[in-house]
Structure 1
């Protein structure tokens, strides 16, 4: 997903990959974990998908944990959740088909959540999948959760009125991006989309026209949350979701406060991930990033049990890093959000020019302008280090500050005139990029784009810019959720494009199809190879950096760590120190 961080198988399946260098973070109270080793797997033993989750040392039940955030969460309806705040909040009150066990040090394991396992590939071709639903999982009113309520939740995600959520399952079932024209939810509320069935109360079945080996990952997103049809209030479900998780929403005053209290019908014996230590979890909305951080720094009253969601703003980084007393209350970690300087290949058609841009880039200068090493870590790959199968490489080795001479050699005396599109709140980044690239022989014209319109504007196929900064955070740690999304030319349309390089290469497109049809156990290394091939043969972008998460919490908060999946604070281990 392209979002801006506030300053955006049965038992046969298994995979394991090492992805980069690092220090350890146990997810308790202190970490400086910006370069950790990440490993990923899909559980092969059904016991891994059962509860209760292993206890967090020293954690006890009780108290109220608070989250201070500047703006409200865009959606609470699980089928519409797709913001980072929503993705970290939804598991508190909703359960999904699958979920990730995350130990806070980069080790993740995909397990069954509502399902007994991460799914069964029935025929070994990734076209037919079955999930068996656990006994003992219940809604907030005590009724049992069955395959039928999960199927209904997925079916309602076809409703065009329920915008905002991911669309993988809908597109895969319909076998077209125009899924809502293939099956009409409003006209068929008592039925299910083609390819989705419930042979019995404990079995959910998917049948696809094409292989979708990443289904166990895709099923971890909130659109697989169950919902009884009689509790479907349409767009109003955003105001009062119906709980299947350890908490239920008891108060939701938009933009002011959201209160979650225990769901007494949640059974920890069925849950491999969640603990639900606090009695209450409260979101307080309003304070900006600096005000929220200052409240947590002061550590008074209720703020002793609070987290500043908007992180440590650049204006406070020096103060926070220089105060030893704040280190035990600081949490840092790498995120999957990778920034790149995207090259519009419809306008910059000369491969040598695109390669010269890669040699010219001064990553250290860009990171300094962005906020420094506390905020970012340089990368030279299209895949972030959190990706399963990640391999480090540098197709255009130029060092941290770039190689101007090599860039000029590739330009061979030419002085390409390029238009850089940049958000109107990122003028410092634009100044740095312009000065950097002009030293290498480019002539850069900067044109600002309104921040709230930038994604729409660069997503137009015939946009007016040669270069623009982009970021992408995968929905699960696989190259399947990154490379085809960003570089498959067959997806290019008039507007709303994720392939903002506008690359359309038949050989690369064919490779996407080949790798996507492989068993998940074999995909990781193939995505790593394809990452290098795309950069060397096409140079559609200049990888810049991955963001680092940097957060503060009060002195009575324990168990916070940076999610290895989404790069934001995880609440599964959070507890209030008594």
Structure 2
């Protein structure tokens, strides 16, 4: 993963980003959300921007229990293993990172220091040496101070091959190799640190790289930099009981059923520029599907009055919610940067013409209609979402509104092609899989659907030797950068046994070289190049079928306040959440 969409200016970094609009419902009846509206952000250069407390939320009150409804278990709760949207946004309640984003919920973001006093110091102005100074007064849930040692240990344990699932930017950059777990053995070096990572003193964390890593301030905003004392490391079992550095701590966890977070009395709001601690508790209630979640919060009986339904309003209930002004007031509609695609396993589906036929066959309109139309998804035909800098609209395989099965048959030229389609057990995912199967079979494919539990889905599709041909993936840039999409998803040099973001397993030497060429350009010149390589990827390799950009429509109870859709990952943020009294 090699994103570099920033410009070094002395010790500061300037950033211009483009994000989808994320806001509360404005009341229009079309449901149309501007998915291309540009947004700007910056990296804070004034240390005061990283100080707490976070500005008070108008109308917010302390007390009560806030409920979060979700259908399935979250893949991972261990910060070093988190890489799902639910995990990334949920972890903000109990974990802190070196940096984080201030987000107004409308696409305007500022990167600030979280555990660090600032978003980092570019020591030699060459992006090869970075230092972060840890804030005073930050503590763990047991009251002991957080120092550079525990942050460094958290990063070190992300090298453990048993702890797969999380992002791998820091690991790859520190050892200068995609095969990071073979370059530095965490299990054999638990009392030391990876090469390039040092702690000169208890408040200083130092990174030294062989190559410029100008995106480091962004990369350390991910949960891999969450601190952990070595004596609290329970390995794979940390998924069940993470050790808190944030405003809330785990007090109960029944996997797949319920998670209870209560206030961490050692969290100091004066050190936190982003989070609040309004509710007494957060309770994740797992098991209800989209329709059940939505109906519960709209009825608002008992605990559900202070709940948010994270599954989104299903298409069959859109008319009910939007047709009632009082219910529509409790609906949040937001375009997100999340782009969905049908990934094609190029290691199994090796014939380019077959991959092209799959592209022609897919019926995007039926899929987006089933997701709620403009309240759920907007069709796309490019790998880059429209909000990406350098975006250019094109359609390499015109399929019309309902697919082009005849063109697909022409490409298959009478060949019999069997495909194994993987899906999770989430209701909406199974419905989408059925639509994909129907479209492909109209074009002459034979499709077998295989279903696995949602909490194992991500880990499965990231395995190199998984036995599946196609599945639906989604991706939002890990920070506001177009360069953190295509190289991450399609550079084949980093493919390993498991934990791959390049789930299509594409390894094209010419395109790999193009990634290197573009990333070496001045950032201001990269944008147009990414649109060119987007088109090349689709025409020359067809590693996936672009499907749609997600629009989130959530319902919440009348006592649930402060929730907005995060601008970076397009999932509900709870840092401002409160229970209306």
Shorter chain as denominator, the TM-score bin is 0.7 to 0.9
Q: Are 2:309 and 1:308 aligned?
A: yes
Instruction: Go from structure 1 to structure 2 and tell me whether the alpha carbon gap of 1:225 and 1:498 turns closer, same or farther (over 3 Å shift).
Output: closer
Contact 1:27 1:561 in 2 (8 A): no
2:577 is aligned, of 566, 570, 574, to 574
Decide which of 509, 530, 535 is 1:532's aligned counterpart.
535
Residues 536/108 of structure 1: CA separation in 2 closer, same or farther (3 Å cut): farther
How many Å separate the matches in 2 of 1:569 and 1:30? 21
Map of 1:105 onto structure 2: 106
Q: Between Structure 1 and Structure 2, how many residues are aligned?
A: 565
CA contact (8 A) 1:29 1:558 kept: no
- Map of 1:35 onto structure 2: 34
8 Å contact 1:28–1:560 — kept in the other structure? no
Alpha-carbon displacement from aligned partner over 1:23-61 (angstroms, at most 9, x marks no partner): x62599999674343525341422332223232222232
Write the distance in 2 (CA, Å) between the matches of 1:64 and 1:147. 33
SS in 1 for 2:538: helix
Specify the alignment match of 2:4 in structure 1.
Answer: none
Q: Indicate the residue corresponding to 2:168 in structure 1.
A: 167
Q: Give, in angstroms, the shift of residue 224 of structure 1.
A: 0.5
1:45 aligns with 2:48: no
Comparing 428-437 and 228-237, the one that deviates more: 428-437
Preserved CA contact (<8 Å) 1:27 1:105: no
Distance apart, 1:92 and its partner CA = 0.9
What's the counterpart of residue 421 of structure 2? Answer: 422
The separation in 2 between residues aligned to 1:269 and 1:197, in whole angstroms, is 27
User: Per-residue deviation at 1:299?
Assistant: 0.6
Q: Where does residue 62 of structure 2 map in the other structure?
A: 61
Of residues 320-329 and 176-185 in structure 1, the stretch that sits farther from structure 2 once superposed is 176-185
Deviations 1:49-76 (A, max 9, x none): 2223232222232222111233443433
Residue 220 of structure 2 corresponds to 219
Tell me the TM-score normalised to structure 2 length. 0.84
Change (3 A) 1:53 1:428: closer
Is this contact kept in 1: 2:67–2:304, CA < 8 A? yes
* CA shift in 2, pair 1:194/1:428, >3 Å: closer
Q: Which residue of 2 aligns with 1:513?
A: 516
> Separation in 2 of the partners of 1:27 and 1:227?
39
Mark the CA change 1:255 to 1:104 in structure 2 (over 3 Å): closer, same or farther.
same
Residues 356, 397 of structure 2: 8 Å contact kept: no
C-alpha distance in 1 between matches for 2:28 and 2:557: 12
Query: Can you give the 5+ residue segments of structure 2 that lack an aligned partner in the other structure?
Result: 2-7
- 1:376-387 counterparts in 2 under 5 A? 376-387=377-388
Contact map agreement 1:27 1:104 (CA 8 A) in 2: no
More moved, 120-129 vs 186-195: 120-129
Alpha-carbon offset, residue 509 of structure 1: 0.8
| Cα distance change of structure 1 residues 450 and 576 upon mapping to structure 2, 3 Å threshold | closer
Could you give the per-residue CA deviations for residues 209-244 of structure 1, whole angstroms, max 9, x where no partner exists? 333333222211112011233333444433433322
Structure 1 unpaired stretches of 5+? 2-8
Alpha-carbon distance in structure 2 between the residues aligned to 1:392 and 1:202: 45
Where do residues 344-363 of structure 1 align in structure 2 (5 Å cutoff)? 358=359, 361-363=362-364
Secondary structure of the corresponding residue to residue 14 of structure 2 = coil
Q: Compared with structure 1, are the counterparts of its residues 160 and 462 closer, same or farther at alpha carbon in structure 2 (3 Å cutoff)?
A: closer
**Conserved 8 A contact 2:360-2:398:** yes
- Measure how far apart 1:142 and its partner are: 3.4
C-alpha distance 52-304 of structure 1, shift in aligned 2 (>3 A): same
Counterpart of 1:563 in structure 2 is: 566
C-alpha spacing 1:500/1:227, structure 2 compared with 1 (3 Å): closer
SS of corresponding position for 1:13:
strand
Q: Residues 465, 573 of structure 1: CA spacing in aligned structure 2 closer, same or farther, 3 A cutoff?
A: closer
Give 1:431 deviation, angstroms.
6.0
> 1:525 and 1:573, CA in 2 relative to 1: closer, same or farther beyond 3 A?
farther
**2:275 corresponds to 1:295:** no
8 Å CA contact 1:214–1:480 kept in 2: the answer is: no
String of CA shifts for 1:175-197, please: whole Å, max 9, x gaps.
33443333333333322111100
TM-score (norm 1): 0.85
Q: Which of 472, 475, 485 lines up with 1:472 in the alignment? A: 475
Aligned partners of 1:461, 1:183: CA distance in 2, in Å?
Answer: 21
